Amino acid sequence: MLFVWREAFAGLRRNLTMSIAMVITTAISLGLLGAGLLAVRTIDRTEELYYSLIAVQVALDEPTSAGDPDCSGPVCTGLRDELEANPLVAGVEYESRDAAFERFQRIYAGQSILQLVRPQSLPATLRVTMADPLRGTEIVQQFTGRPGVRNVVDQRSTVQDLFSFLGSVRNATFGLAIVQALAALLLISNTIQLSAFTRRTEVGIMRLVGATRWYTQVPFLIEAVVTGLVGAVLATGGLVLGKLFFLDRLLSGRLLANTIPPVGMSDVLLYVGPVLVIVGAVIATLTGYVTLRLYVRT
Amino acid sequence: MIRLENVTKVYPTSTRPALDDVSVEVERGEFVFLIGPSGSGKSTLLRLLLREDVPNEGNVWVANWNVGRLASRRVPRLRQRMGVVFQDFRLLPNKTVAENVAFALEVIGKPRHTIRTVVPEVLDLVNLAGKADRMPSELSGGEAQRVAIARAFVNRPLVLLADEPTGNLDPETSTGIMTLLERINRTGTTVVMATHDRQIVDSMRRRVVELSSGKLARDDSRGVYGTGR
């Protein structure tokens, strides 16, 4: 056992520059993978945050908005009852034209757009909270064009842009991670071959005196796995630094504060870190094993 | 201890067989010279005994192993019971004499306390007790070969194979190596030595197995290198 470890570390020392290149490439690849995982996690959280806030808005047409301010006429109550009976719907709230105008004034206080808007230009709405926010389109389809309805808007489609932005960030990091992973794989494979070549006399003697596969091959595998693990640790460290000095500032800045939830240290250390360690070790082991099988005769 | 039954070996790159229907038997504790010109099949025979290669036809037996049919995961077990010595010594240049010998035990997982007692014993046997800490580059050819023999013998093999062990040595040094191999043979270890060295074969008067173009040409129980060759 001791022998195997000693040989593995001797191997890493012997090809020091290769080992360093291997570790750096692996770290970058795993770091990108980690960034991608953090992006996925952030997207999930952001969606959760928004889905609890967003709703489907059924805007009423001009005659209903103007003639039935407290939703007591047959058209408005008919729509409301039907929505409430729908199993997709969690709740329905009525907002009259005047209430909408008040909210509008509140949101855009002090801005010039206020001068242009009259209560008459805002519709009364039935604000529908969905039991499942992802199925808002079904409500849109059912109620568009109904008597008394001006239009139906699923607010989810308006936040979709944000999600698709986050999604492309995630895809880009995963794409880069794969390219880097390929480079890391080739480097690991190459280094094992180099290492096996440097040690061919030794391995030859080992085989002659009856050393098992464990003794002849495991040192090379350990070399690969140590590389993977060190790479994973460095990648996690890099993500911690990235979080502290880049993400934290970005997400607490004026532009994105309260738009995207912050990334927690526990996300980096307890979720992404262990994933990277496992992925790094598994990929390095597989690469090492395949390389030994294909290129190194024992 | 060793039995070849109608063994034929053809290398893919050659049309002529390296060994052609060879049958020969070596008893436990025997000392056998394997002679014949270069390319006669001596090295092939040794490679088959070590399972570096498998025969195309026939069976190779070492102790109770059918070597050619041994599952590859059992090959280490076979090799642990065999020692090999080469013309070019094959010592590890970055290890001392004692480390070179210990290496053979380390890599088959022998415990360290065993290694610590066994290595000095075997270095004593080959008369190198005083040079345990030398590096191979500081040794003469004869000394280097004795280290190689110590390494081959340290795990007390059943069979010691020697492929022209005196090929790089002067006659006087060669005699020393032969004395050592005889001493090892007297411990009960079967020794098979491939050689070109007429003088050694003639002076030892041991069993001589001669190969010629892959065929068994001669098997004398107390032979000489041969006349007129």
d(CA A195, CA A22): 13
Write the DSSP string, B147-208: HHHHHHHTT--SEEEEESTTTTS-HHHHHHHHHHHHHHHHTT-EEEEE---HHHHHHH--EE
- When computed from its CA atoms, the radius of gyration of chain B, rounded to whole angstroms, is 17
> What average pLDDT score do residues A54-62 get?
85
Same domain for B99 and B184, yes or no, is: no
Q: Mind giving me the DSSP string for B72-102? A: GGGHHHHHHTEEEEETT----TTS-HHHHHH
A210 and B50 within 8 Å at the Cβ level: the answer is no
Q: Of the ranges A1-15, A24-38, B49-63, which one carries the lowest mean pLDDT score?
A: A1-15
Contact yes or no for B107 and A204 at CB 8 A: no
Chain A CB contacts of B82 under 8 Å are 210
DSSP label of B227: S
B109: phi then psi, degrees, rounded to nearest 5: 80, 25
- Tell me how many domains chain B contains: 2
Domains of chain A with CATH codes: 1-51+161-295 (no CATH), 55-132 (3.30.70.3040)
Query: What's B75's domain CATH number?
Result: 3.40.50.300
User: Which residue, among A83, A55, A77, has the nearest Cα to A64 in the 3D structure?
Assistant: A77
pLDDT at position A254 over 80: no
- Checking if the pLDDT of A188 tops 90, the result is no
Positive/negative CA dihedral, B204, B8, B59, B48 = positive
Instruction: Report yes or no on B34 lying in a domain.
Output: yes
Listed residues B156, B176, B205: the one ending a domain = B156
In a domain, B98, yes or no: yes
Asked whether residue B51 falls in the same domain as residue B126, the answer is no
Whether residue B115 sits in one domain with residue B7: no
| Domain membership flag for residue B86 | no
Domain extent for B32: 1-81+158-223
Restricting to B residues 76-95, those with a Cβ less than 8 Å away from any Cβ of A are 76-84, 90, 92
Taking residues A76-101, report their average pLDDT. Answer: 88
The verdict on B74 and B174 lying in the same domain is yes
Q: Are residues B10 and B63 in the same domain?
A: yes
Q: Are residues B64 and B108 in the same domain?
A: no
Chain A residue whose CA is closest to B50 = A208
The answer on B139 and B127 residing in a single domain is yes
CA distance A196 to chain B (A): 15
Supply the ipTM of this predicted assembly: 0.87
Q: Pick from B117, B138, B156: which residue ends a domain?
A: B156
Residue B228 lies in a domain: no
Whether B144 and B171 map to the same domain: the answer is: no
Does some domain include residue B186?
Answer: yes
pLDDT confidence bin for A292, thresholds 50/70/90: confident
User: Within chain B, which residues score under 70 in pLDDT?
Assistant: 227-229
In this structure, the answer to whether residues B1 and B75 fall within a common structural domain is yes
In this prediction, residue B229 carries a pLDDT of: 47
Give pLDDT, residue B144: 96
Residue where a domain stops, chosen among B156, B183, B198: B156
**Are B13 and B3 contained in the same domain?**
yes
In a domain, residue B184? The reply is yes
**Is residue B136 domain-shared with residue B28, that is, in the same domain?**
no
pLDDT tier at A263, thresholds 50, 70, 90: confident
Contact residues, chain A, for B106 at CB < 8 Å: 3
**Chain B contact probe: residue of A207, A209, A213, A293 with most B CBs at under 10 A:** A209
Element holding A138 (H helix, E strand): helix A136-143
At residue B183, the pLDDT reads 95
Could you tell me how many residues make up chain A? 298
Which pLDDT belongs to residue B2?
95
> CA B182, CA B204: separation in Å to the nearest integer?
10
Residue B87: inside a domain, yes or no? no
Res A173: pLDDT = 81
**pLDDT score of A296:** 67
Within a domain: residue B229?
A: no
Contact residues, B window 36-55, toward A, CB-based 8 Å cutoff = 50
pLDDT single digits (tens) A208-227: 999 988 888 888 889 889 98
pLDDT for the residue numbered A297: 63
Say yes or no to pLDDT of A161 above 80.
no
Domain shared by B4 and B116, yes or no: no
